[in-house]
C-alpha cells in the first residue's frame, strides 16, 4: 500500500521542511496557497501532485508545529488557513541546520574526483 | 514532545473519523475552487480551468488515503478492517461460529473454574493478613484420633510461655459437636453450631469483626458474662442482618448471652478449619475453668515472629515439648508430648493433602483446552481449505502473506475472545455453584470467587488458545503455492492431501489426549466404586441420628452415681418411647457418631500385663443398649443392658482390631477377648469384655479402621447424646414424629436436624466424589470433542473423495465395501491415537497413584474398557460419513465434477 518507503521518507521530511519554511515566509496560508508557493519557488520540480501536501499538513498539525483555522480567502472563498507555531519555528531552525549540514556533506561526497578519491580543491 | 502530541492526535483521529473526513473533503473542495479561480483569472474557460485544477491536484482518492494514513494509526485501522471482515465472514457461517465458540467456551470456562479452585486452595495465601506466618502445631498422625492431635490447657500454657518464636499462640476447642448451641427465640429452641476459641484467637489470625468487638481476656474468665460472636451467614439467616444486633442478649443454652460482634463475611471458620461443616458462632473458651482438667482438648495455632523460619520454630518446639505436662498436678505426665509438637505451615495443614488432586485436575482441564484447540485447528483448516481460493485470489491481487496470516489470526482471536467471554460466564456460574456446596468437605470452598488473577488467567489462555489453533491453519494457508491453489480442484491434488495429513495428525493427537483423560477418569471412578464398596462396619442405609438434649444433673451428687442413674432412666424412657413409634426397628444412644468426631481416654490392657510404651489409645464411645443394632454393627457376645449399672461389674465392648492387638500380648483361650478382664484407661478399674464388634471406619472411609472401645452410658459419662434409629421406613418420613416424641419428653429439646447416617458417609466421601465427578465431566467433554474431531475429518475426506467414490461405485464397488473402507480409515486414526494415549497414560499414571484407592494405576480393566469405549465412539462418529459415502450415487458424483 505504501509505495517505495525509501523514497517517500526523504520526500516526506523535505516536504515538511518546505511547508514550514513557506509558512514562515508567507504567514497564514491555505493548503492550495502552500502548494502553489512551493511549486513556484521550486520551478515545478518538486511537487508532483498538490494533493500530497495534505498528508504533510496533518502530520505537522498533529505534532503541534503548525495550527489551523477556517477562514475566508482574499477572493472570498472559505478555506482552512495554516500558520506556524512557536515550536514549529524552533523545529524549522534545527531542521534547516541539519539539512544544510547534510547537503554540505552530500556536495562534498558527490564532488569527490573519481581516480584519486580526494576532495577537489 | 511533538511525537507524543502526534500519537495523541492519531489516537483521537481514530474516534473522529467522520468529522475529519468531512473536514478534509471541504478542504479539497476549497483547494479546487481556489485553483479554478486562479486559472479563470488567467483567462481560461471555466471547464478548462476545472480540468487543469484537477490535474494539478493529482489523485484525489490517493491524497485522501495518504492523509488518513498519516493522521491515524494504520495498525488499528487495519485491525478494524480485519475485525469487520471477520465478523462478516463468521456471521455468514453461524453453524461454524456457534460450534467453535461453544467448544472454546466449554474449554476456557472449565479452565477458569479449575484455576479459581487451584488458586484459592493452592496458590493464594490463606485469607488472613500475613498468612505465611501462621503455623499449625500438632503431633504427627496417630491412631487415637482427635485426642492425640490436641493438647491439654496446661500444655498449651507451657508452650505459649516457653516459646520465643511466636508473636502469640492460640487455639480452639476441638471437641465441639455440631448443633451444640440451642437458641431460644420462639417456643421451640433452634440449634446452631458454635466453636469455643481461646480469647486471643482473632488477634492471632488477624481477623477484625465487621461489627462490634472481638474477645478479650475478660470474656474468658471464670464467672464472665456469656458473650458470643456471630458468623456473617448466621447473622443474615437467623437475625435478618439486624444492624443493631451488637449488645442484644439471647437465651442460648439457657444463659442470657450477649452478642458482642459479627464476624466479617470473609471469615468462615468451617471453611478453614472444619471443611464441609457450618459454624454459626464463636464463643470464648474459659481455659481457667473446668477445661483445665479435661485433658487434650485444644488445637494450637501460632503466628511466627517476622523473620523466624519454620525450621527454627520446629527446633524450638522440639526443645519446649519435653517441658510440657498433660496435667501440671500430675508430674508423671510431664514430657509425654516429647516429639509430639511439630509446627507446619497452616496452609499445608489445610490444603496440603489436596495438592496432588488439584494438580491432576489442572492437568485434566489443560488437556481439555488442548483438545479444544486441536479441534478448532481442524475446523479452521477445513474452512481454510474451502476458502483457499479466496486467499489465493487475494494473494494474486497483492495481499502480502503477513496480511493474510494476520487476517486468519484476527479470526482466531475473535473466536477465542467470544469463547473466553462465554467461558467466563460459565465459570462464574460454576464457581458460584461450587461455593455453595457446603456439604463438600473441601477447605475454603465457600471463599471461591472470580478474582483479578482468574481474569488475568482468562486473557492468558484465550490468547494462548487463539495462537495455538490459529497459527497452524494460518501458516498453512499463507505458505501455499498460489498457482497450485488456484489450479487445485476437489479431485484430490497434492495440496488437499497435505491438508488431510495435517488434519489426521491433529485428530490422532486429540484422540490420544482424550484417551489419557478417559483412563484417568476411569481409574478415579473405579477407586470411587471401591470406596463405596468398603465395609464400613456399620450399615448407613435406613439409619438416622438426631442430637438429643437431656438434663442428668443431680444437685449435691458427690459420687456421680445419682447422675448416672438419672441419665440411665432418661435414656431408657426415651428409647422405649422412640422404639414404640411404628416404622422404627431399634434405637440406641451414642455420644460420637462415626465419621464425625472422636476422642480417646487411655489404654485399657489385659489385667496383669504391662502395656508397652508409646502405644496409641483406642477411640472411646459411650453407648446404650440397642446402639450396635441400630447402627448395623455386627456384635459377637452380648449387648449392654440396663442392668449394667453403677453397682454391677464394669463391662466394655471392643472392636476386632483392638481385640486382636490385646490378644497378641497375652494368652487368651482361642485368642478370644470375650469374657476377659481389662484394666486401666477407663472410668472403672477392672472391666470385663462382654462383646467384640466389627471394625468401624471412624475417621475416614478410605483409611484403615483403628481401635475402638465402647463403654455403657449407665457406667461411663457420655459427652453428648446422639439418638440413632434403624427404621423400616425411609428415615425422612419419621423425622417429624421422632422430634415430636422427643419434645414431648423434654420441652427443651431443640428442633435439631434428623440426619441420615448415609449423609455422614457421603460427607466423608465428598472430596473424592467431587474430584471424580470433575475429572469424569472433563473426560466426557474430551470424548465428545474427540468424536467431533473424528467426524469432521472423515466427513471432510468423504466430501473430497466424492468423485473418486463415484467412479469406484460406477466400476462395481458395493456400498458395503465403500463403507468398510471408510470405517477402516476411522479405526486406523482412532487406533493410533488410542495406542499413543494408552502409552502416555501408562507413563504418567503414577502421578495419580496417590489419589487412587485399592486400584492400580495400571489397572488393565480400566485401560481396556476406556480403549474399547473410545474406539466405539470413534467408529460411531466415522459411521455417519461412511453411510453418506455409501449412498453416493455414481451418476450424481461424476456429473458434479
Q: Kindly identify which residue of chain B lies nearest to residue A54, measuring between CA atoms.
A: B67
Closest CA to B57 of A52, A14, A43: A52
Grade residue B737 by pLDDT with cuts at 50, 70 and 90. Answer: very high
Residue B821, SS3? helix
Q: Give the Cα separation of B515 and B782 in Å (integer).
A: 8
SS (H, E, C) B214-242: CCCHHHHCCCCCCEEEECHHHHHHHHCCC
The pLDDT of residue B493 is above 50 = no
Chain A closest-CA separation from residue B388 CA (Å): 23
Residue B613, sorted as left (phi over 0), alpha (psi -120 to 50) or beta, turns out to be beta
The mean pLDDT of chain B is: 88
The pLDDT of residue B169 is above 70 = yes
Higher-confidence position of B861 and B612 = B861
- Interval B205-219: pLDDT, tens: 999 999 999 999 999
Residue B190 burial (10 A CB sphere; 0-12, 13-18, 19+): middle
Query: What integer pLDDT is reported at residue A9 of this predicted model?
Result: 40
Domains of chain A from N-terminus onward: 5-110 (1.10.10.10)
Q: Do B63 and A49 touch (CB under 8 A)?
A: yes
Cβ neighbors of B891 (< 8 A, separation 6 or more) are: B806, B810
Comparing B78-82, B136-140, B563-567, B869-873, which segment has the lowest mean pLDDT? B78-82
> Mean per-residue pLDDT for B131-144?
89
Give contacts of A36 with chain B, Cβ < 8 Å: 38
Higher-confidence position of B797 and A3 = B797
Residue B615, SS3? coil
- Interval B779-837: pLDDT, tens: 999 899 888 888 888 887 888 788 888 888 888 888 888 888 889 988 998 999 999 99
The pLDDT of residue B682 is above 70 = no
Whether residue B5 contacts residue A62, with contact meaning beta carbons closer than 8 Å, is answered with yes
Among B22, B34, B399, the residue to mutate for chain A (most A Cβ within 10 A): B34
> Mean per-residue pLDDT for A14-25?
89
Query: What integer pLDDT is reported at residue B415 of this predicted model?
Result: 92
Q: Identify the bridge partners of residue A78 per DSSP, sorted by sequence position.
A: A72
Residue B126, SS3? coil
Instruction: State percent of chain B over pLDDT 90.
Output: 45
C-alpha cell at B681: 484407661
Query: What integer pLDDT is reported at residue B168 of this predicted model?
Result: 95
Grade residue B479 by pLDDT with cuts at 50, 70 and 90. Answer: low
Whether residue B595 contacts residue B698, with contact meaning beta carbons closer than 8 Å, is answered with yes
Q: Identify the bridge partners of residue B692 per DSSP, sorted by sequence position.
A: B636, B654
Question: Rounded to the nearest 10 degrees, what angle do helices A53-62 and B2-15 cross at?
Answer: 110
Query: What integer pLDDT is reported at residue B190 of this predicted model?
Result: 87
> Mean per-residue pLDDT for A58-71?
90
Residues of A with a Cβ under 8 Å from any B Cβ are: 1-2, 30-33, 35-36, 48-52, 54-56, 58-59, 61-65, 73, 75, 77-80, 87, 91
Question: Cα–chain-centroid distance for residue B333?
Answer: 42
> Mean per-residue pLDDT for B672-694?
86
- Interval B92-101: pLDDT, tens: 888 889 989 9
Q: Do A49 and B5 touch (CB under 8 A)?
A: no
> Mean per-residue pLDDT for B359-363?
91
Cβ neighbors of A34 (< 8 A, separation 6 or more) are: A19, A22, A23, A26, A53, A57, A82
Contacts 24+ apart (CB under 8 A), B382-388: B382/B503, B382/B792, B382/B796, B383/B93, B383/B96, B383/B473, B384/B408, B384/B473, B384/B476, B384/B477, B385/B496, B385/B499, B385/B796, B388/B477, B388/B480, B388/B485, B388/B488, B388/B495
Give contacts of B63 with chain A, Cβ < 8 Å: 49, 51-52, 54-55
Strands (DSSP E) along B607-730, which ranges?
Answer: 619-623, 635-637, 650-655, 677-679, 686-693, 708-712, 722-727
Write the DSSP string, B150-175: SB-HHHHHHHHHH-SSEEEEE-BBTT
Whether residue B546 contacts residue B869, with contact meaning beta carbons closer than 8 Å, is answered with no
In this structure, how many other beta carbons lie within 10 angstroms of the beta carbon of residue A55? 22
The pLDDT of residue A3 is above 50 = no
Quote ipTM for the complex: 0.84
pTM of the entire structure? 0.77
Query: What integer pLDDT is reported at residue B491 of this predicted model?
Result: 44
Question: Cα–chain-centroid distance for residue A99?
Answer: 11
- Interval A74-120: pLDDT, tens: 888 899 999 999 999 999 999 889 888 988 898 888 888 765 555 54
Residue B621, sorted as left (phi over 0), alpha (psi -120 to 50) or beta, turns out to be beta
> Alpha helix (H) ranges present in B223-354?
232-239, 269-273, 310-320, 346-351
Query: What integer pLDDT is reported at residue B850 of this predicted model?
Result: 86
> Mean per-residue pLDDT for B136-154?
87
Q: Give the Cα separation of B112 and B428 in Å (integer).
A: 9
What are residue B467's phi and psi, to 5 degrees? -65, -45
Closest CA to B362 of B113, B9, B67: B113
The pLDDT of residue B57 is above 70 = yes
Q: Identify the bridge partners of residue B636 per DSSP, sorted by sequence position.
A: B692
Comparing A108-117, B137-146, B485-494, B606-615, which segment has the lowest mean pLDDT? B485-494
Pairing mode, if any, of strands B281-284 and B342-345?
A: unpaired
Give contacts of A54 with chain B, Cβ < 8 Å: 24, 27-28, 63, 66-67
What are residue B695's phi and psi, to 5 degrees? -65, 130
Whether residue B208 contacts residue B265, with contact meaning beta carbons closer than 8 Å, is answered with no
Q: Give the Cα separation of B868 and B865 in Å (integer).
A: 5
Query: What integer pLDDT is reported at residue B334 of this predicted model?
Result: 86
Whether residue B354 contacts residue B119, with contact meaning beta carbons closer than 8 Å, is answered with no
Q: Kindly identify which residue of chain A lies nearest to residue B5, measuring between CA atoms.
A: A63
Whether residue B409 contacts residue B504, with contact meaning beta carbons closer than 8 Å, is answered with no
Q: Do A51 and B30 touch (CB under 8 A)?
A: no
HSE value, Cβ hemisphere, 13 Å, CA-based, for B370 = 18
Q: Do B9 and A62 touch (CB under 8 A)?
A: yes
The pLDDT of residue B288 is above 60 = yes
Query: What integer pLDDT is reported at residue A1 of this predicted model?
Result: 36
Comparing B174-178, B578-582, B752-756, which segment has the lowest mean pLDDT? B174-178
**Domain boundary assignment for chain B:** 2-72, 131-353, 354-534+763-896, 550-749
Among A1, A12, A30, A51, the residue to mutate for chain B (most B Cβ within 10 A): A51
The pLDDT of residue B490 is above 80 = no
Q: Kindly identify which residue of chain B lies nearest to residue A50, measuring between CA atoms.
A: B57
Cβ neighbors of B210 (< 8 A, separation 6 or more) are: B232, B261, B262, B263, B264, B265
Query: What integer pLDDT is reported at residue B471 of this predicted model?
Result: 77
The pLDDT of residue A5 is above 50 = no
- Interval B621-636: pLDDT, tens: 999 999 999 999 999 9
Residue B738, SS3? helix
Give contacts of A47 with chain B, Cβ < 8 Å: none
The pLDDT of residue A6 is above 50 = no
Amino acid at each position: 500500500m505504501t509505495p517505495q518507503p525509501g523514497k517517500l521518507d526523504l520526500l516526506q521530511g523535505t516536504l515538511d521542511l518546505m511547508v514550514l519554511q513557506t509558512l514562515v515566509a508567507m504567514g497564514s496560508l491555505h493548503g492550495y496557497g502552500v502548494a502553489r508557493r512551493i511549486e513556484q519557488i521550486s520551478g515545478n520540480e518538486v511537487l508532483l501532485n498538490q494533493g500530497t501536501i495534505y498528508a504533510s499538513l496533518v502530520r505537522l498539525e498533529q505534532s503541534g508545529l503548525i495550527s489551523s483555522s477556517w477562514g475566508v480567502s482574499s477572493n472570498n472563498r472559505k478555506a482552512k488557513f495554516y500558520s506556524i507555531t512557536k515550536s514549529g519555528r524552533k523545529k524549522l531552525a534545527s531542521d534547516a541546520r541539519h539539512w544544510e549540514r547534510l547537503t554540505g556533506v552530500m556536495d562534498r561526497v558527490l564532488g569527490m574526483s573519481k581516480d584519486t578519491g580526494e576532495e577537489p580543491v | 514532545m511533538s511525537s507524543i502530541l502526534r500519537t495523541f492526535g492519531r489516537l483521537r483521529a481514530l474516534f473522529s473519523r467522520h468529522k475529519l473526513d468531512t473536514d478534509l473533503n471541504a478542504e479539497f473542495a476549497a483547494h479546487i475552487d481556489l485553483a479554478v479561480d486562479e486559472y479563470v483569472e488567467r483567462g481560461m474557460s471555466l471547464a478548462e480551468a476545472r480540468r487543469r485544477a484537477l490535474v494539478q491536484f493529482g489523485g484525489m482518492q490517493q491524497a485522501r488515503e495518504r492523509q488518513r494514513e498519516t493522521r491515524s494509526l494504520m495498525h488499528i485501522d487495519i485491525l478494524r478492517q480485519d475485525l469487520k471482515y471477520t465478523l462478516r465472514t463468521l456471521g455468514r457461517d453461524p453453524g461454524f461460529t456457534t460450534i467453535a465458540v461453544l467448544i472454546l467456551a466449554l474449554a476456557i470456562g472449565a479452565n477458569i473454574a479449575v484455576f479459581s479452585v487451584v488458586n484459592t486452595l493452592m496458590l493464594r495465601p490463606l485469607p488472613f493478613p500475613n498468612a505465611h506466618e501462621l503455623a499449625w502445631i500438632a503431633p504427627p498422625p496417630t491412631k487415637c484420633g482427635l485426642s492425640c492431635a490436641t493438647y491439654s490447657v496446661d500444655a498449651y500454657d507451657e508452650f505459649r510461655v516457653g516459646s520465643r518464636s511466636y508473636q502469640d499462640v492460640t487455639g480452639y476447642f476441638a471437641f465441639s459437636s455440631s448443633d451444640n448451641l440451642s437458641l431460644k427465640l420462639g417456643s421451640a429452641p433452634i440449634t446452631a453450631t458454635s466453636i469455643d476459641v481461646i480469647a486471643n484467637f482473632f488477634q492471632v489470625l488477624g481477623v477484625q469483626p465487621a461489627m462490634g468487638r472481638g474477645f478479650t481476656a475478660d470474656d474468658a474468665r471464670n464467672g464472665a458474662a456469656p458473650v458470643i460472636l456471630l458468623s456473617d451467614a448466621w447473622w443474615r439467616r437467623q437475625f435478618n442482618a439486624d444492624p443493631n444486633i451488637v449488645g442484644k442478649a439471647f437465651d442460648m443454652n439457657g444463659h442470657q448471652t450477649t452478642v458482642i460482634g459479627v464476624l466479617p463475611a470473609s471469615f468462615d471458620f468451617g471453611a478453614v478449619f472444619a471443611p464441609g461443616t457450618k459454624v454459626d458462632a464463636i464463643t470464648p473458651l474459659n481455659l481457667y475453668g473446668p477445661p483445665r482438667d479435661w485433658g487434650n482438648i485444644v488445637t494450637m495455632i501460632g503466628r511466627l515472629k517476622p523473620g523466624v523460619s519454620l525450621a527454627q520454630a520446629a527446633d524450638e518446639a522440639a526443645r519446649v515439648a519435653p517441658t510440657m505436662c498433660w496435667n501440671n498436678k500430675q508430674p508423671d505426665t510431664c514430657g509425654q508430648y516429647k516429639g509430639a509438637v511439630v509446627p507446619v505451615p497452616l496452609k499445608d495443614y489445610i490444603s496440603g493433602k489436596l495438592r496432588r488432586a488439584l494438580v491432576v485436575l489442572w492437568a485434566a482441564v489443560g488437556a481439555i483446552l488442548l483438545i479444544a484447540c486441536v479441534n478448532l485447528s481442524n475446523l479452521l483448516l477445513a474452512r481454510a481449505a474451502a476458502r483457499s481460493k479466496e486467499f489465493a485470489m487475494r494473494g494474486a491481487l497483492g495481499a502480502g502473506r503477513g496480511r493474510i496470516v494476520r487476517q486468519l489470526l484476527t479470526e482466531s482471536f475473535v473466536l477465542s475472545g467470544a469463547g473466553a467471554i462465554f467461558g467466563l460466564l460459565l465459570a462464574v456460574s460454576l464457581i458460584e455453584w461450587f461455593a455453595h456446596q457446603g456439604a463438600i468437605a473441601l477447605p475454603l470452598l465457600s471463599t471461591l470467587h472470580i478474582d483479578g488473577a482468574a481474569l488475568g488467567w482468562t486473557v492468558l489462555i484465550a490468547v494462548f488458545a487463539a495462537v495455538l489453533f490459529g497459527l497452524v491453519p494460518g501458516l498453512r494457508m499463507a505458505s501455499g503455492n498460489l498457482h497450485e491453489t488456484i489450479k487445485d480442484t476437489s479431485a484430490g491434488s497434492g495440496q488437499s492431501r497435505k491438508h488431510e495429513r495435517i488434519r489426521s495428525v491433529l485428530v490422532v493427537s486429540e484422540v490420544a489426549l482424550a484417551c489419557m483423560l478417559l483412563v484417568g477418569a476411569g481409574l478415579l471412578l473405579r477407586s470411587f466404586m471401591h470406596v463405596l464398596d468398603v465395609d464400613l462396619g456399620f450399615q448407613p442405609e435406613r439409619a438416622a441420628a438426631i442430637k438429643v438434649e437431656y438434663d442428668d444433673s443431680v444437685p449435691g451428687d458427690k459420687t456421680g452415681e445419682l447422675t448416672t442413674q438419672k441419665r440411665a432412666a432418661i435414656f431408657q424412657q426415651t428409647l422405649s418411647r422412640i422404639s414404640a413409634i411404628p416404622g422404627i426397628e431399634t434405637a440406641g444412644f451414642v455420644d460420637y457418631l462415626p465419621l464425625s468426631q472422636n476422642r480417646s481416654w487411655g489404654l485399657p490392657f489385659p489385667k496383669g500385663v504391662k502395656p508397652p510404651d508409646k502405644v496409641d489409645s483406642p477411640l472411646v464411645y459411650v453407648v446404650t443398649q440397642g446402639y450396635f443394632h441400630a447402627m448395623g454393627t455386627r456384635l459377637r457376645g452380648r449387648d449392654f443392658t440396663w442392668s449394667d449399672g453403677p453397682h454391677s461389674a464394669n463391662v466394655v465392648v471392643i472392636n476386632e482390631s483392638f481385640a486382636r492387638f490385646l490378644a497378641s500380648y497375652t494368652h487368651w483361650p482361642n485368642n478370644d477377648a470375650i469374657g476377659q478382664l481389662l484394666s486401666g484407661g477407663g472410668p472403672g478399674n477392672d472391666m470385663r469384655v462382654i462383646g467384640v464388634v466389627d471394625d468401624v471406619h471412624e475417621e475416614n472411609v478410605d483409611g484403615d479402621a483403628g481401635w475402638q472401645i465402647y463403654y455403657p452410658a449407665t457406667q461411663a459419662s457420655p459427652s453428648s447424646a446422639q439418638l440413632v434409629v434403624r427404621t423400616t421406613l425411609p428415615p425422612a418420613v419419621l423425622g417429624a414424629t421422632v422430634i415430636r416424641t422427643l419434645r414431648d419428653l423434654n420441652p427443651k429439646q431443640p428442633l435439631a436436624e434428623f440426619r441420615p447416617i448415609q449423609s455422614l458417609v457421603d460427607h466423608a466421601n465428598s472430596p473424592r466424589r467431587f474430584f471424580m465427578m470433575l475429572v469424569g465431566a472433563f473426560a466426557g467433554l474430551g470424548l465428545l470433542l474427540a468424536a467431533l474431531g473424528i467426524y469432521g475429518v472423515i466427513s471432510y475426506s468423504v466430501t473430497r473423495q466424492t468423485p473418486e467414490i463415484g467412479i469406484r461405485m460406477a466400476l462395481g464397488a458395493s456400498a458395503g465395501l465403500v463403507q468398510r473402507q471408510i470405517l477402516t480409515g476411522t479405526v486406523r486414526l482412532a487406533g493410533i491415537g488410542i495406542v499413543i494415549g494408552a502409552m502416555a497414560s501408562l507413563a504418567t499414571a503414577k502421578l495419580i497413584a496417590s489419589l487412587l484407592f485399592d486400584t492400580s494405576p495400571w489397572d488393565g480393566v480400566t485401560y481396556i474398557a476406556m480403549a474399547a469405549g473410545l474406539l466405539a465412539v470413534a467408529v460411531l462418529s466415522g459411521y455417519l460419513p461412511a453411510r453418506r459415502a455409501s449412498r453416493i450415487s455414481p451418476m450424481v458424483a461424476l456429473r458434479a465434477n
